[in-house]
Structure 1
Amino acid sequence: MTIRRFSAAVFAATLLTPGLAACNSTGTGEAGASASPTVSGSAAAGSASPGSASPGTGDAKQALLNSTNEIRNGNFRFTMTGVGTTAEGQVHQPSQSAQIKLSIGDASSDVSMKLDLVHLKPDSWVKLDLGGQAAKLPGVQGLNLGKYQHLDQSRIKGNRNLGFDFEKVDPAGSEVLTQGVTEVRQTGEGAYAGTIDVTKAAEAGSLNAELIKALGQQAQSVPFTAKLDPQGRLSELVVQIPASGQNKAQDIRITYADYGAATAAQRPPADQVVEAPKELYNLFN
Structure 2
Amino acid sequence: MPTQEHLRTAMNEMARSTDALSPTVVLHAARRRQTHRRLLAAVVTAAAVTAVSIGVAVATPSRPPDGPAPADTGDAGQALRDSVAALRGGNYTFTRTGTSSIADIQRAAVHLPDSVLLQHASSFVMVRAGSDTYLRYLLNGGPELRAQYRQYYKENLKAADVRKIDEVYSHLDGEHWVRADEKKLTEAAAVDEQSGLDYMAQMPTTEQPDATGAGSLIAAVTSAERAGNVITGTLDATKPDPLLELMFSDPTYLYGVGAKSMPYRATLDDQGRLTEFTVTMPDHRMASQPADPVQPEPPLVIRISEYGRTEAQSPPAQISGELSSLAYELLARDTD
Is the contact between residue 237 and residue 248 of structure 2 (CA under 8 Å) also seen in structure 1?
no
Is the contact between residue 265 and residue 277 of structure 2 (CA under 8 Å) also seen in structure 1?
yes
> Would you say 1:51 and 2:78 are equivalent positions?
no
> Would you say 1:94 and 2:134 are equivalent positions?
no
Gaps of 5+ in 1: 1-12, 104-112
> Would you say 1:228 and 2:268 are equivalent positions?
yes
Q: 1:230 to 1:237 in 2, by over 3 A?
A: same
Is the contact between residue 31 and residue 248 of structure 2 (CA under 8 Å) also seen in structure 1?
no
Corresponding letter in the other structure for 2:330? E
Distance of 2:279 and 2:315 partners within structure 1: 34
Distance of 2:62 and 2:92 partners within structure 1: 17
Is the contact between residue 40 and residue 205 of structure 1 (CA under 8 Å) also seen in structure 2?
no
Q: 1:46 to 1:62 in 2, by over 3 A?
A: farther
Corresponding letter in the other structure for 2:136? K
Instruction: Identify, as 1 or 2, the structure richer in helix.
Output: 2
Gaps of 5+ in 2: 1-6, 15-20, 35-55, 151-164, 190-198
Q: 1:209 to 1:253 in 2, by over 3 A?
A: closer
User: Residue 38 of structure 2 corresponds to which residue in structure 1?
Assistant: none
Displacement of 1:263 in angstroms is 1.2
Is the contact between residue 224 and residue 239 of structure 1 (CA under 8 Å) also seen in structure 2?
yes
Corresponding letter in the other structure for 2:129? L
SS where residue 242 of structure 1 aligns? coil
Is the contact between residue 220 and residue 237 of structure 2 (CA under 8 Å) also seen in structure 1?
yes
Displacement of 1:115 in angstroms is 0.6
Q: Percent identity among equivalent residues?
A: 23
Instruction: Identify, as 1 or 2, the structure richer in strand.
Output: 1
User: Residue 249 of structure 1 corresponds to which residue in structure 2?
Assistant: 297
Is the contact between residue 229 and residue 267 of structure 2 (CA under 8 Å) also seen in structure 1?
yes
Higher-Rg member (1/2): 2
Match of 1:272 among 317, 320, 329: 320
Match of 2:178 among 149, 163, 176: 149
Distance of 2:87 and 2:319 partners within structure 1: 34
Displacement of 1:173 in angstroms is 1.8
Higher mean alpha-carbon deviation, 218-227 vs 272-281, is at 272-281
Distance of 1:260 and 1:164 partners within structure 2: 18
Higher mean alpha-carbon deviation, 57-66 vs 202-211, is at 202-211
Q: Deviations over 1:42-70 (max 9, x none)?
A: 225573444324xxx50110110000000
RMSD of Structure 2 on Structure 1 (CA): 3.6
> Would you say 1:182 and 2:222 are equivalent positions?
yes
Is the contact between residue 177 and residue 201 of structure 1 (CA under 8 Å) also seen in structure 2?
no
User: Residue 246 of structure 2 corresponds to which residue in structure 1?
Assistant: 207
Match of 1:260 among 305, 308, 331: 308
> Would you say 1:78 and 2:91 are equivalent positions?
no
TM-score of the superposition, structure 1-length normalised? 0.74
Count of aligned positions: 253
